[in-house]
Structures are given as C-alpha cells and as structure tokens.
Amino acid sequence: MEYAKLGRSGMKVSRLCLGTMNFGVVTEEQESFRIMDAALDAGINFFDTANVYGGKDNHGRTEEIVGRWFAQGGGRREKTILATKVYGDMGDPLDGPNRDRGLSAYKIRRHLEGSLRRLQTDHVELYQMHHIDRSVSWEELWSAFEIAQQQGKIGYVGSSNFAGWDIAVAQGEAKARGHLGLISEQHKYNLLCRLPELEVLPASQALGLGVIPWSPLDGGLLGGSALKPSEGRRSVANQERIEKHRPQLEAFAKLSAELGESEDIVALAWLLHQPAVTAPIIGCRTLEQFERSLKAVELKLDEAALKRIDEIFPGPGGDAPKAYAW
C-alpha cells in the first residue's frame, strides 16, 4: 500500500480510503467485519463513514457496525484513521427544531457526541462537514470545531461537497483565527464527472486540502457491468445514462482491455494519477469487490494511456481561471 499526507496536515493516510456506506444497508454486519479486517491487512488505514449512513429510518447503523468492529480489539481502533461527518437530520426527536439539515455549534456538539458513542471511541481523526451551510457564520463553526479539538474529540476538520468559493472562504476565516483550517475536501469526482477540475481541485491544492473522491465509478457506470445485459431491472434513469454515455463506455472498455485491466481498476488508477487526489473512496459491498480494488494502486498509467482517457472523457477545458478566458 502507498501512503500520502492528507492535505497540509502531517497525518499519513493510505492511497485508498475504505468507504462504509453499504455497511448495514446492502452488506450484512459479518461481511462488513471481514472487509474491514481485510482492509487493515492490506495496509488501508483510512476509513470513511457518516452519522447518517445506515439506510432510511436507520441513521447511525453504519457507525454502530464500525463501533462493534472496533470493540473486538486487536488494535483495530489504534490502526485506523477514522473519518465521519455531520450535517444531516438524524431523526432524533430531542433535537426539536434543530433536527433539520445544517450546521450549528449546538448541532456539531450533539451529533459529535452521538457519533463517538456509536463508534465506541473517544475521538475521530477527521470530522467532516457533509455539506456547506451558508446560514451559519464561520465564526460559529470554527469556534465549535476548535472546542472539539481542544477537548481531544477530533483531530482535524474536513469538508465535503463544498464549492471552490466555500473552501476559499473557510480557509480565509480559519487563517484569521490562527487555525489550521480544512485539511480535506470529499467531492464527487470521476471520469464522467470532471467539473471539479475547474475550481474545487485547484482551490484545494492551493489552500492545503487533500481531495477524497466519492463515487469514483459513478454509481457503477465505470465498472464495466453497465455494458453487460442486466440480470436485474435497471431504473429508467440508469438505463438512460448508460445509453447517453455508451460510445464513451465502449471506447473505455476497449482501452482497458488493451491495458490488460478491467474498467473499474483503470478508473480508480486514473484518479490516483491526479495531483490533487489523496485517496479515492472504495465503497465495496463484498469482500471480493474490495480485494479487486486493491489492484488500482499497482496500476501505473503512462502518458499515452492518460491522453487516450482524456480523449474519451474530456474534462471541462482546464483549470480556473484559464478555462474561462484565453
């Protein structure tokens, strides 16, 4: 396994991040345990979760599964760099009018306590805002995170689904307080979704954030199975997306075959070749899927392969501000 520092922090994380969103939803608990054990054995030390994961009406279930895995001991917690998130409605009636999606010092305190309880730990290495909440001042947010850091409950602060502008404002406000600020941005980024290259990736690089791509296979479209006859029933929306991108997907399948790898491995390897990216999230449903994903770290794409990928999946035209002008 390869490792890299996460943003401008001194903390090193594996170049692949284990996503847990399927745990307790489509992946039963014992299989989740096997996947997490295999991740540690493979050298993956970076695990990502969120307080709302667990399925409809079962928010928190995924954190509970991770917590029960930690409780087995064997150094599991000590070997894991743990990331979770705050923002969503946890369905707790005690939150009253503060149940709504969003951020506040009140909500950060309550929801962090809930996450730590479910995760059976006294701290998380990375606490991420799941979305931006522009109705809350950065003075309030940074104050809340600083208190949690002083209490030893969180190590670093990260963002998710932020625009480049939000990242810039957050870092400016943090600098004014003498605070390290954000060290990571978790963002949807893949071969079919390259819009972040315009501003989110350049802003992250310039301001010291490591990018953690979610949905690296775009919901399975880049996994190869999209071109195969479906054994089950695909939704109309998914089938329409497949048909929309069929020429690209067919060209990508051909290139991947020439490289001697499957489409999913090539798509993950491409992300690992992007300078702003620290670790794509692999959200495996089974142990077999997890074990396949490990090959992405070993695959090195040469300039010719990267050029052909750009021809199949052209980006937004370059970084800001060049893409907006001459």
The residue annotated as part of the active site, out of 53, 87, 127, 189, is: 53
| DSSP letter assigned to residue 323 | G
What is the rounded CA–CA span in Å between residue 35 and residue 41?
10
Q: At what angle do helices 164-176 and 138-150 cross, to 10 degrees?
A: 60
**53 catalytic per annotation:** yes
Are residues 39 and 290 in contact, defined by beta-carbon separation less than 8 angstroms?
yes
Helix locations, the chain, DSSP H: 29-41, 61-70, 76-79, 105-119, 138-150, 164-176, 200-207, 236-259, 263-272, 287-293, 295-298, 303-312
CA nearest 80: which of 5, 29, 154, 17? Answer: 17
CA nearest 191: which of 243, 249, 105, 133? Answer: 249
- The alpha-carbon radius of gyration of the chain (Å, integer) is 20
Q: Give me the active site residues, please.
A: 53
